[in-house]
């Protein structure tokens, strides 16, 4: 599990995160939702230490992360996988090399063991016969899957996904969402997902926190979110015609 | 002020670059790849410009000192020393600053934009070390060979020019190449080449690593990288010359 206590972060005079506290459970898909520019990416990057926070505490289990020396941070980072908004695959490496990279860097496995693990992870994301292609040679949805396979190759305890289904068609988006959900349950990971896609919220929102202008405005589950009377959240949830029809 | 900021950040980055690689095997693989990318792939351009410059230096010297008082073999000597002292180190360095420098800056800048550097950091990899050290090491290793090849090929260019134009006899040219040879000039040339190799990989790497914005910014940062590398090469050239030849 991950616990955030009172996290604040500014860029110059622009305060992006304003005292956010939250609790993300193990084996669950925890969603961070909010409008574009509300601070979701900054929050996610703060949790994993790509941004230094100004105030607050971040707990991985009982280990406080933000004030750790670099060595301790490195240890925790080996326990986490991250799926970036654009995939962030290494474009001079093949699919197989991308997934094998964390194994090359951090394990002493033999080539054969590594290949087995790579193929296992690629099978988990339903990607076969693509091992020797380069990221530029596969579709966006496939790139996302490779990125997921790479993120889980070291058996992470924590999985972070920044807009995992942005830029995908609705069907593929659901497939990716379900995949993340299944992996979360199967490997008992603490998964945190940024999204502004209401489909994902309804599909996989075990726990949801809503960020509004850098503040945590609301939290609850996918069942509660449809019944909320919070004005800003309502505006967000029922922004589309489809969702309004769904409610009425 | 801005300059001081960049110098400070450059050295901080270098401190992260020069640490022990996570895995020796991975480093070695990347090193070999960079030797090919930065070194072997530059061989063609180095050979072409060296042949022509060697030929031009020889012809210009020949046409400028058509005096009965100056022996013909001095043309060979001048071509040799020009190649060793200045051309094969500094001019080749400047040309590689354009080719290698823009390549390094745009590759690393693109990795920054597409969050590949963040991805490395998140895995717990020292991205500066992982991405930049193989490039610096490869250039420092392979560029001295390029330098020697450039000198050699340049002198062949001069020989061909002599043969085709018939200004002096080839024997005189060859004699000049051997005449009053100072081996220390080679050392001087190699020292400069190694320093330039460091500059043309580390400075563009710095610019790429801290690029921000979009694809346009990657282009701008690689242009800046080439300009700064070139200026630094010229500056180092003066300093090393004063230190080693004075
Ligand atoms: N590195 C940075 N430097 C300065 N300001 C930043 C930086 N990163 C983000 N911001 C600012 O923080 C605010 C929140 O940005 P963020 O990327 O977190 O939004 P988001 O909720 O992820 O939006 P989206 O859904 O579009 O991805 C924006 O106003 C942005 O300008
Ligand atoms: Mg975002």
Ligand 1 centroid, distance to A234 Cα (angstroms)? 23
Nearest to A105 among B26, B115, B121 (CB): B26
Q: What 3-state DSSP class applies to A30?
A: strand
Q: What is the pLDDT of residues B191-213, one digit of tens each?
A: 999 999 999 999 999 999 999 88
B152 has a pLDDT exceeding 90: yes
Q: For a ligand 1 pocket test, name from A16, A43, A217 the mutation site with the most ligand atoms within 8 angstroms of its C-beta.
A: A16
What average pLDDT score do residues B96-125 get?
94
Element holding A81 (H helix, E strand): strand A80-83
Q: Quickly count: other Cβ atoms within 10 Å of residue A54's Cβ.
A: 13
ipTM surpasses 0.90? no
Atom of ligand 1 nearest to the CA of A43: 18
Contacts of A90 in chain B (CB under 8 A): 111, 116, 119
Cross-chain residue pair B115–A84, CB shorter than 8 Å: yes
Count of alpha carbons within 13 angstroms of residue A71, beta-carbon side: 0
A165 has a pLDDT exceeding 90: no
User: Which pLDDT does position B218 carry in this prediction?
Assistant: 93
CA-nearest of B126, B16, B137 to A106 is: B126
A119 has a pLDDT exceeding 90: yes
The pTM of the full predicted model, rounded to 2 decimals, is 0.90
**Paired residues of A64 in beta bridges:** A59
CA-nearest of B78, B64, B46, B48 to B185 is: B78
Q: What 3-state DSSP class applies to A88?
A: coil
DSSP state of A165: T
Q: Pick the residue from chain A with its C-alpha nearest to B22.
A: A105
**Tokens 């500094």 appear where?**
B90
CA-nearest of B190, B179, B213, B226 to B78 is: B179
Q: What is the pLDDT of residues B203-242, one digit of tens each?
A: 999 999 999 888 899 999 999 999 999 999 999 999 999 9
Q: How many domains does chain B have?
A: 1
Count of alpha carbons within 13 angstroms of residue B102, beta-carbon side: 11
Q: What 3-state DSSP class applies to A9?
A: strand
CA-nearest of A116, A125, A162, A129 to A146 is: A125
A70 has a pLDDT exceeding 90: no
Nearest to A50 among B114, B116, B118 (CB): B118
DSSP state of B5: H
- Rounded to the nearest angstrom, the gap between the alpha carbon of residue B106 and the centroid of all alpha carbons in its chain is 18
A84 touches chain B (CB under 8 A): yes
A47 touches chain B (CB under 8 A): no
Structural domain range at position B56 = 2-245
Phi, psi of B20 (to 5 degrees): -70, 130
Count of alpha carbons within 13 angstroms of residue B58, beta-carbon side: 34
Atom 2 in ligand 1: which residue has the minimum CA distance? A11
**A188 Rama sector, left if φ>0, alpha if ψ -120 to 50, beta otherwise:** left
CA-nearest of A130, B60, B100, B101 to A118 is: A130
CA distance A193 to A177: 10
**A26 Rama sector, left if φ>0, alpha if ψ -120 to 50, beta otherwise:** beta
CA distance B136 to B141: 8
Atom of ligand 1 nearest to the CA of A211: 21
Question: How far apart are the CA of B208 and the nearest CA of chain A, in angstroms?
Answer: 16
Q: Pick the residue from chain A with its C-alpha nearest to B21.
A: A105
A93 touches chain B (CB under 8 A): no
Ligand 1 centroid, distance to A4 Cα (angstroms)? 19
CA distance A199 to A177: 9
B 25-44 residues inside an 8 A Cβ radius of A: 25-26
Proportion of chain A above pLDDT 70, given as a percent: 100
A89 touches chain B (CB under 8 A): yes
Query: Do the bridges between strand A215-220 and strand A158-162 make them parallel or antiparallel, or are there none, so unpaired?
Result: unpaired
Written as six digits, the tokens of A22 are 């939250």
What average pLDDT score do residues B48-66 get?
92
CA distance A221 to A228: 10
Which domains, and CATH codes, for chain A? 2-79+158-247 (3.40.50.300), 90-155 (no CATH)
Cross-chain residue pair A82–B114, CB shorter than 8 Å: no
Q: Which of B36, B119, B121, B127 to mutate to test the interface with A (most CBs of A within 10 A)?
A: B119
What average pLDDT score do residues B55-64 get?
92
**Tokens 């790579």 appear where?**
A118
């Amino acid at each position: 599990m991950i616990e955030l206590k009172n996290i604040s972060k500014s860029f110059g005079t622009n305060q992006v995160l304003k005292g956010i506290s939250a609790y993300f459970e193990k084996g669950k898909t925890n969603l961070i939702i909010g409008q574009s520019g509300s601070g979701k990416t900054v929050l996610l990057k703060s949790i994993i230490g790509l941004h230094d926070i100004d105030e607050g505490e971040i707990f991985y289990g009982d280990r406080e992360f933000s004030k750790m020396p670099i060595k301790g941070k490195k240890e925790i980072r080996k326990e986490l996988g991250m799926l970036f908004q654009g995939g962030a695959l290494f474009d001079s490496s093949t699919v197989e090399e991308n997934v094998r990279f964390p194994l090359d860097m951090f394990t002493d496995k033999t080539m054969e063991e590594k290949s087995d693990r790579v193929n296992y992870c690629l099978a988990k994301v339903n990607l076969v016969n693509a091992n020797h292609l380069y990221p530029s040679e596969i579709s966006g949805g496939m790139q996302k899957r490779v990125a997921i396979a790479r993120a889980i190759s070291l058996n992470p305890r924590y999985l972070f996904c920044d807009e995992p289904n942005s830029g995908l068609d609705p069907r593929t988006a659901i497939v990716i969402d379900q995949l993340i959900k299944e992996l979360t349950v199967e490997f008992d990971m603490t998964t945190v997902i940024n999204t502004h896609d209401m489909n994902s919220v309804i599909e996989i929102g075990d726990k949801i926190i809503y960020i509004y202008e850098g503040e945590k405005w609301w939290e609850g589950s996918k069942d509660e979110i449809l019944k909320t009377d919070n004005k800003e959240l309502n505006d967000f949830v029922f922004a589309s015609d489809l969702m309004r029809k769904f409610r009425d | 002020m801005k300059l001081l900021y960049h110098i400070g950040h450059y050295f901080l980055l270098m401190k992260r670059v020069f640490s022990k690689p996570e895995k020796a095997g991975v480093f070695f693989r990347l090193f070999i790849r960079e030797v090919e990318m930065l070194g072997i792939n530059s061989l063609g351009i180095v050979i072409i410009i060296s042949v022509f410059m060697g030929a031009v230096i020889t012809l210009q010297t020949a046409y400028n000192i058509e005096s009965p008082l100056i022996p013909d073999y001095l043309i060979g000597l001048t071509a040799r020393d020009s190649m060793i002292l200045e051309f094969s180190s500094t001019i080749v360095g400047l040309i590689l600053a354009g080719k290698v420098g823009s390549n390094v800056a745009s590759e690393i800048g693109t990795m920054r934009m597409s969050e590949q550097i963040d991805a490395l950091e998140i895995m717990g990899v020292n991205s500066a070390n992982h991405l930049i050290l193989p490039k610096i090491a490869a250039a420092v290793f392979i560029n001295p060979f390029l330098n020697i090849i450039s000198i050699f090929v340049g002198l062949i260019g001069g020989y061909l020019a002599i043969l085709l134009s018939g200004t002096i006899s080839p024997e005189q040219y060859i004699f000049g190449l051997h005449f009053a040879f100072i081996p220390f000039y080679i050392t001087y040339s190699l020292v400069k080449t190694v320093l330039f190799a460091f500059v043309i990989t580390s400075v563009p790497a710095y610019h790429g690593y801290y690029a921000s914005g979009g694809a346009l910014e990657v282009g701008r940062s690689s242009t800046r990288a080439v300009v700064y590398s070139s200026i630094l090469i010229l500056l180092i050239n003066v300093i090393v010359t004063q230190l080693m030849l004075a």
